Structure 1
Amino acid sequence: MDETQDPHEDEGRPRRGRLSRRKKIAILTTLLSVLLCGGLAAAGFGLQNRYEKQVQRADILEPPAGPPEEQKQQEQEQEKREKRWEDGPLNLLLLGSDSRSGEPDQASVSGQRSDTIMLLHLNAARNQATIVSVPRDSYVHVPQGGANWSGGMNKLNAAFAFGGPALAAKTMTRLIGVPLDGVIVADFSAVRQMIDAVGGVRVCLPYDVVMLGSQGGWAKGCHQLDGNEANELMRQRYGVPGGDFGRIHDQQLVIKALVEKITKDKVAFNPVRFDRLLTTAAKALVVDRELDIRKLAMALRHIRPDAVEFVTAPHTRTATIESVGSVVILDEAKTGSLFAAIRDDTLKQWVADNPQPPPSY
């Protein structure tokens, strides 16, 4: 396959059985909010085991055993990863996929897409979380993987299409220059029930959002949104400033609002609402086989809403690449310093030194 071929060049055509981009985005942001609230930790270890059984697992970070030298390298990487879980910073890749509802283990199948790509960074002190959004159309090097991809430059989300979450993780590891400690894939949708389970969210917009083709939308200011309305907000790409970057910002606003709502309303202490929320979340997840849900819950248990920060990988411009289409050109210098801050566990300082105002018209 030509290295510039876009696996999504027919993106506008309807696909039977596939999730809409709206649902993919909403699933991931909602699940991330539950994780950041330390939901599984609050549930207690007994309930953790219950919900963990409903989570699908796939070989993502740990591929099937190969030659002895590769096995040894994998064992060494696993030892380093276990040490980071004890006392080091953690980096987890969060992907929103379009796998078909009801089909098992879709995380291992190539040909899907990932329209939402985030990195969750937890500092070594476990009191700060930073969510780094990376535009799905970022023009990056995608390593060899899958049956039809020999490696080369392409859109970031092409990695998922060519080789599933394993190639997406490999691509992100190469891009950032730091090993991943876990991968979480949002697999299928029940997002409306999840948001409605907490009574909706209050989202404050710094700009007007226009729903093209209708009379709807949201004016600048704060709005109480139910599940359907939150979905509609997060799917808007053309009625927000900055296009995809405005949509990324709206995703971040919903995450922040939901984290605050779950914490403020003490949803974890309402057995019925909390069970509904966690059951729906667990069924929507696919994680790498080695990810310990209990360790993740414990790592997140002390992080409060005001300790969660958001950043988007800086870019310089958009461009059109033959056979690939419109791509985002990342700012090499600024993105390089961002990734260095991830490696050095100094993201809080980087965010303070590099404020990112919301997109504007």
Structure 2
Amino acid sequence: MVVGTPSRVVPPTSRWRSMAGWKKAGIALLVLLAVLCAGLVAAGFGLKHRYESRVQRQDILGPGTGPRDERRWESGPLNLLLLGSDSRDGEPDQGRYPGQRSDTIMLVHVNAARDGATVVSIPRDSYVDVPAAGEAWAGGPNKINAAFAFGGPALAAETVAKLTGLPLDGVLVANFAAVRKLVDAVEGVTVCLPYTVTSSDTGVTWPVGCHNLDGKAADDLMRQRHGVPGGDFGRIHDQQLVVRAIAERVTATSLLTSPTRLDRVLTTAAESLIVDRDLNLTDLALALRRVKPESVQFVTVPFSDPNLQTPAGSAVRLDEARAPALFAALREDRVAQWLAANPQTPPAN
């Protein structure tokens, strides 16, 4: 890996004003949904059939995920659930989706003004109430990522909706391995680490500082739990850093004006996506068209005990006061005030 000072990122403000509407929406989607749904960009801009046909659809959102008004695409806040699945062959059958977990759980809250968004990472080992899933699971406390194994994205969505009290407007699921291909499609990213990370898989060490990463290295970094401060919380922070780096890469280059490179990015993301059957990709793209890259914030749900001993193994106890306060701020569309009172810091050693 190359260590050093990253290339200067040109401030996007002036470019933003002069960009066509489809380019703005394209950037917003790449920033917000990064490794999961770049394929949606094309849905609103005359390229729908080429890319949407590559996206898989499932019945994900049910009654347990909250009421949805069709007019929600026109105004008001939006809540999108992003799940990164990671197949684990060889594990015992644990339900309809054996060997799979939602190792990346991100809730994207778009504010009512539709000009900013907050990406909320939920620790995958959070000990929460997981609703019943037929014969696979009787319901009760468990790690939140087990919901995917017991009932797939539908149960994962119901679990998140029950935990947060937020109605979900859309769900997108992608294989975690798509990160590697997407990073390569944008020709690498620059990630600046506030701590040293050592890969338990490859032995590579990334010291404090900025690193130019290709897809393989970015994928390696985002998977680390043991060689990073804070364990799984360091892993979450690294995921957020890579998502932000992809956004900076997109806004600092001519990706959206290069048909070949743009096609490669859209195809890569679209072929990795599963979305809810009723999610209108065109409406989603247009709803996010005014979200600027610099207006996206990242936050991790507060916790009080990272080593809670449970029948499901070591888990994470979410903070009984601050976590509900964050969820209430999201529901009331005042998360900016919550973040001002609860500034985010990198995990400590």
TM-score bracket relative to the smaller structure: 0.7 to 0.9
Q: Structure 2 stretches of 5 or more lacking a match?
A: 1-29, 90-94
1:32 equivalent in structure 2: 33
The structural deviation recorded for 1:239 is 0.9
Residue 97 of structure 2 is aligned with which of 110, 126, 135? 110
Distance 2:324 2:67 in 1: 24
More divergent stretch after superposition (318-327 vs 262-271): 318-327
Contact 2:85 2:101 in 1 (8 A): yes
The structural deviation recorded for 1:62 is 3.7
Q: For residue 336 of structure 1, give the secondary structure of its aligned residue in structure 2.
A: helix
Q: Structure 1 stretches of 5 or more lacking a match?
A: 1-28, 64-72, 102-107
Change in Cα spacing, 1:270 to 1:143, as seen in structure 2 (3 Å) is same
1:53 equivalent in structure 2: 53
The structural deviation recorded for 1:216 is 2.0
Deviations 1:229-259 (A, max 9, x none): 1111111111111000000000000000101
Change in Cα spacing, 1:229 to 1:219, as seen in structure 2 (3 Å) is same
Change in Cα spacing, 1:194 to 1:319, as seen in structure 2 (3 Å) is closer
The structural deviation recorded for 1:110 is 2.9
Q: For residue 168 of structure 1, give the secondary structure of its aligned residue in structure 2.
A: helix
2:13 equivalent in structure 1: none
The structural deviation recorded for 1:144 is 1.2
Contact 1:30 1:191 in 2 (8 A): no
1:126 equivalent in structure 2: 114
Amino acid at match of 2:215: G
Q: How does 1:182-193 map to 2 (within 5 A)?
A: 182-187=170-175, 189-193=177-181
2:343 equivalent in structure 1: 355
Identity %: 59
TM-score for the superposition, normalised by structure 2: 0.83
The structural deviation recorded for 1:96 is 1.1
Contact 1:39 1:297 in 2 (8 A): no
Contact 2:125 2:144 in 1 (8 A): yes
Contact 1:31 1:281 in 2 (8 A): no
Q: How does 1:313-328 map to 2 (within 5 A)?
A: 313-328=301-316
The structural deviation recorded for 1:41 is 4.2
Change in Cα spacing, 1:326 to 1:96, as seen in structure 2 (3 Å) is same
The structural deviation recorded for 1:61 is 0.5
Contact 1:42 1:268 in 2 (8 A): no
1:338 aligns with 2:326: yes
Q: For residue 230 of structure 2, give the secondary structure of its aligned residue in structure 1.
A: coil
Distance 2:60 2:343 in 1: 34
The structural deviation recorded for 1:323 is 3.1
Q: For residue 71 of structure 2, give the secondary structure of its aligned residue in structure 1.
A: helix
Residue 253 of structure 2 is aligned with which of 236, 248, 265? 265
1:152 aligns with 2:157: no
The structural deviation recorded for 1:190 is 4.1
1:93 equivalent in structure 2: 81
Q: How does 1:148-187 map to 2 (within 5 A)?
A: 148-187=136-175
* Coordinate RMSD, CA, aligned: 2.5
Q: For residue 171 of structure 2, give the secondary structure of its aligned residue in structure 1.
A: strand
Q: For residue 124 of structure 2, give the secondary structure of its aligned residue in structure 1.
A: coil
Distance 2:259 2:202 in 1: 39
1:282 equivalent in structure 2: 270
Distance 1:39 1:168 in 2: 22
Contact 2:255 2:262 in 1 (8 A): yes
Change in Cα spacing, 1:44 to 1:335, as seen in structure 2 (3 Å) is closer
Distance 1:359 1:282 in 2: 33
1:8 equivalent in structure 2: none
Amino acid at match of 2:51: Y
1:218 aligns with 2:206: yes
Change in Cα spacing, 1:285 to 1:40, as seen in structure 2 (3 Å) is closer
